[in-house]
Structure 1
């Protein structure tokens, strides 16, 4: 099950569970669409893979399967 990480690992922008701007790689590294398209040029700085839009978990399932609250930041990612 996806962690639904709460932020962009590059710019630290908030990405709530229902954000249409969240992008993930195959290892679930999480970035915003702006960083993926701009700074990262479509390649994950952690694994080198591409990105896909992160699925949105239905709100009715959040109580049983909550989104992560742990923020992750990639050092040196365009800051």
Structure 2
């Protein structure tokens, strides 16, 4: 089962098309850009507390 990437970063609303290499997703399909995940969220999902994967 593949996770479904959302079309925008949930923090800054940056567009994240399916081919985006800077998208990060958690196991609950929360989607953020790499910059927000690393610098603003400390690689911890604010919605579920999980980690991110590219």
TM-score higher than 0.5: yes
Identify unmatched segments of 5+ residues in structure 1.
54-79
Write out the 4+ residue segments of structure 1 that deviate beyond 3 Å after TM superposition: none
1:3 alignment partner in structure 2 = 4
Q: Using structure 2 for the length normalisation, give the TM-score.
A: 0.91
The structure, 1 or 2, with the larger RCO (C-alpha pairs under 8 Å, 6+ apart) is 1
Q: Distance in 1 between matches of 2:33 and 2:18?
A: 12
Q: Using structure 1 for the length normalisation, give the TM-score.
A: 0.64
Identify unmatched segments of 5+ residues in structure 2.
none
How many residue pairs get aligned? The number is 53
**Larger Rg: 1 or 2?**
1
